[in-house]
Amino acid sequence: MKKIFIPILLVLAFAAVSCQQLLDIPQKGTLSTLEYYASDSDAEAALNNMYAAYIDNVANAIGIDVAEQVIFNYSADDVLAAGGHANDHPDFRVFCEFRYDDMNGELKNLYDDYCTTIYAANLVISNFTTENRNETAPKWESAVTKRCVAEARVMRAFIHMQMAILWYQPAIINRVLDPDELPVQAESQSQVLEWVIAECEKAINSGSLPERASKNDKDGTAIMTKGFAQFVAGKAAMFNNDPATARKYLGDLINSDKYDLVAPEDYWTNFHAAGDGNCEKIFEPNFIYDATASFWGNVGRSRWMVADVFCWRTEDLYSVPNVCPAAGWNGGAIQVDFAKKFLEHDGDSPRRLATFITEDEWLYEINWKDSELNDRTRAEKETDPNRGIKGTAGIFGHGPYFEWKNMSFAEVPKLLAGDKDYPRDNEPAIMGGASNTSNYNVARYAEALLLYAEACIDSPDAAKGLEALQKVQKRSGSGKISASLTFNDVMEEKQYELWFESCRFPDLVRWAKQGKVNLDQIFNGDLHKKCPIVYDEYSAKNTGKHKLYTSYVNLNDEHNCTFVVNKHEYLPFPADRVAGNKFKNVLGWAYLNAAEEPAAE
């Protein structure tokens, strides 16, 4: 795939005024905004800056994780933070246990990442349209500037949708604000989502928005396109409880014939370098390697150390499986009861195998680095001293199912690839160690089909919705094909298909608002009373034969992991942003607006 290098535009405005003319000397190496935004090349540079802002902030690793991945996924009922112990990775495990507050670093990072991207998009829009404080006409207009504005408009709408899903009532920042202005908080989530839909419609109707050329157009997955605008508008409509509008936009996306599901045997590639830019991708920013950049500049974009988080707890293993890129820290495990349900539903489907593997597959069907028995019999492997879990402490927060959907593959496993040769996710020749040179997955066609199917329930388009649902089911390999379009079938299929793809928790929240699920029942049942620890009888019971077993501890013995209805559905604004922008927190976080403690719940 063609890798698109996106430079960062640095535009510095200097407005120093002095009555001493001898001091009024232009500084070399700078460029006034009065002379900028006046050509096609300026517009392209500003647009590239927007993409760079997104890649370097939202899609980038800050420390050991990507804040967006953490916050959208760790609160779901089918993900466990795991780690080495109950207090490991505290900044993000608190989202799994609903123990975060407005001082949380992950929360602040993501909020600031989104605002940085919105500002970069507004630099394009406010300088090449009249959408600025004084409605000043742009210095330059052309087909190129109109395209750049359309792309920036979609990016800005997308980020606002994400913020509305997480923060309920964020500000709508529809132009570059001057230093004396503060953002104005929206009156409701619906106001933001309706604005998002209108912005996408404006970009689509402009006739300037790029379109993916075909299902094989890889470069068309790395930019804002008409297809992605339709996806964003459709998803925003579903969160606004407006299925008719969602059907319109998602139906247009499906009918464009620019996207498709990959073959069942290639399902796993959707999450690895082998599938970058494939027919299923609606938007994923390219991994960018810059040979001139510092090592640290590159490892951030490769989501360096996120590869460690999403790898198994290697320090507790007798040796390291060949698929692991480096040391693993056991973050983001699959919840045991859900894995059992998934296995019962999908069996040995390509979808299940791409998501997680079973105890036997983990112990005996993948290669281990220090083992001399990788090509030997199952009976020989059962007593192999160089595989399995060592010691008597077990692996905290993990059961006998081993997720690898998000793992950075140092070696593509034959269990998925067969005898075919595929590129691996970490490329030592470029980055080395725990890098991940696969693209950051944002939106794929399977989600669009399932959103459309849900939007069609009890509508004149129910038959089309059932067709969309069945298309995902047939590709999965699970063997289940729905005979009718029901909410339960769509909800179930979406959980299997999109595990750890930033969908489950936001979906549960909107379904709860619609009276379809009970969040108190989901999160305050056994979810945190059954924290698993997986052991190997080989070492834990000294049997000399590998067999895993699981025991459970109650996390509430150490932490209060209670989900509070009408509070934890949405996030509080970062404390310093509330102070600076005079925002008001909503629902159960409203107590933060005053300097007082909340009443007992």
Q: Which domains does the chain have, with CATH numbers?
A: 21-64+111-283 (1.25.40.390), 295-438+527-557 (no CATH)
C-alpha–C-alpha distance, residues 508 and 495, integer Å: 10
Q: Which helix (H) or strand (E) holds 389?
A: none
**What would the DSSP string read from start to end of 375-386?**
TS-HHHHTT-TT
Strand partners, 444: 281
Confidence of residue 61 (pLDDT cuts 50, 70, 90): confident
Question: Over the stretch 455-482, which tens digit does the pLDDT of each residue have?
Answer: 999 999 999 999 999 999 999 999 999 9
Is residue 152 pLDDT above 50, yes or no? yes
Identify which of 380, 352, 350 has the alpha carbon closest to the alpha carbon of residue 364.
380
Is residue 428 pLDDT above 80, yes or no? no
Are the C-beta atoms of 2 and 219 separated by less than 8 Å?
yes
Kindly tell me the burial class for residue 550, based on how many C-beta atoms sit within 10 Å of its own C-beta (0-12, 13-18, 19 or more): middle
Identify which of 367, 277, 286, 361 has the alpha carbon closest to the alpha carbon of residue 320.
367
Identify which of 91, 111, 110 has the alpha carbon closest to the alpha carbon of residue 101.
91
Question: Over the stretch 379-415, which tens digit does the pLDDT of each residue have?
Answer: 999 999 999 999 999 999 999 999 999 999 999 999 9
Are the C-beta atoms of 445 and 310 separated by less than 8 Å?
no
Are the C-beta atoms of 471 and 202 separated by less than 8 Å?
no
Are the C-beta atoms of 145 and 40 separated by less than 8 Å?
yes
Instruction: List phi, psi (to 5°) of 550.
Output: -125, 135
Helices assigned H by DSSP within 314-358: 336-346, 350-355
C-alpha–C-alpha distance, residues 229 and 250, integer Å: 10
Q: What is the mean pLDDT of the chain?
A: 91
Strand partners, 551: 533
Structure tokens at 551: 């025991």
C-alpha–C-alpha distance, residues 352 and 478, integer Å: 8
C-alpha–C-alpha distance, residues 104 and 22, integer Å: 49
Task: Please state whether 127 falls in left (phi above 0), alpha (psi between -120 and 50) or beta.
Answer: alpha
Instruction: Return the pLDDT at 578.
Output: 86
Structure tokens at 188: 């409701």
Lowest mean pLDDT among 1-15, 410-424, 445-459, 493-507: 1-15
Question: Over the stretch 237-295, which tens digit does the pLDDT of each residue have?
Answer: 999 999 999 999 999 999 999 999 999 999 999 999 999 999 999 999 988 777 787 77
Is residue 595 pLDDT above 90, yes or no? no
Instruction: Return the pLDDT at 31.
Output: 56
Instruction: Return the pLDDT at 30.
Output: 52
Question: Over the stretch 169-194, which tens digit does the pLDDT of each residue have?
Answer: 999 999 999 999 999 999 999 999 99
* Distances in whole angstroms, Cα of residue 381 to Cα of each of 372, 415, 472, 544: 9, 17, 37, 11
**What would the DSSP string read from start to end of 4-65?**
---PPP---------S-GGG--PPTT---GGGSS-SHHHHHHHHHHHHHHIIIIITS-BTTB
Confidence of residue 32 (pLDDT cuts 50, 70, 90): low
Please tell me the number of Cα atoms within 13 Å of 568 on its side-chain side: 24
Confidence of residue 342 (pLDDT cuts 50, 70, 90): very high
Is residue 452 pLDDT above 90, yes or no? yes
Are the C-beta atoms of 384 and 390 separated by less than 8 Å?
no
What 3-state DSSP class applies to 368?
strand
C-alpha–C-alpha distance, residues 163 and 507, integer Å: 15
Mean pLDDT of 289-316: 84
Residue written as token pair 């300097």 = 595
Using DSSP, how many helices (H) and how many strands (E) does the chain show?
22, 9
C-alpha–C-alpha distance, residues 573 and 20, integer Å: 45
- DSSP secondary structure code for residue 276 in this structure: T
**For the chain, what percentages of helix, strand and coil (3-state, to nearest 5) are there?**
45, 5, 50
Q: Which helix (H) or strand (E) holds 80?
A: strand 79-82
511 versus 7: the higher-pLDDT residue is 511
Q: Which helix (H) or strand (E) holds 550?
A: strand 548-553
Strand partners, 82: 331
